[in-house]
Amino acid sequence: MIRLLYFSHAMPGLSDDQVRNILQSSRKNNPVIGVTGVLIYGGDMFMQVLEGPEQAVLRLYVKLLDDRRHSNSQIVQMSYAKERMFQNWSMGVIKTNPLKFEHIKKLLDHRLEAVHAEVFAETMREFVKQLNAEH
């Protein structure tokens, strides 16, 4: 199983309906391919964690690259994972305040090789805690 985290820029003027469509597609398609994760939308950016079988996650990510509702996708972290971090929920959109992205965005400055797996896991744990506290 792998876990992939990416950021992308939302298409300018993206409507609530368009975001809802993305969510609907995710909810419909991801369980079928065994992918869980979280999709965060806020501050004109998307952040998505996809976790599941390697082929399924990679195929989905490649498909997402062609979606015009976002652009400039950047993988922040991709690693093998023994357990799901988001097993209890498939996809949710949180229109979070841009500031809340900040501590995650720091990971962007140290993309891929420079982000130590433990730093990533700790950052994500904190983030999940924060998300759960909001719901």
Q: Which residues bind ligand FAD (CB under 6 A)?
A: 8, 21-22, 25-26, 28-30, 39, 46, 48, 60, 63-64, 67-70, 91
**Which is nearer to ligand FAD, 16 or 122 (by Cβ)?**
16
- Report, in Å, the least distance between residue 59 CB and ligand FAD: 10
b/e per residue 98-134 (b: at least 16 CB within 10 A) = eebbeebbebbeeeeeebeeeebeebbeebeeebeee
What is the C-alpha R_g of the chain?
A: 14
Whole-angstrom distance, CA of residue 45 vs CA of residue 104: 12
Strand partners, 70: 10
- Report, in Å, the least distance between residue 58 CB and ligand FAD: 13
**Which is nearer to ligand FAD, 59 or 116 (by Cβ)?**
59
**Which is nearer to ligand FAD, 21 or 122 (by Cβ)?**
21
**Which is nearer to ligand FAD, 67 or 102 (by Cβ)?**
67
- Report, in Å, the least distance between residue 63 CB and ligand FAD: 6
- Pairing assessment for the beta strands 45-52 and 2-10 based on DSSP bridges: antiparallel
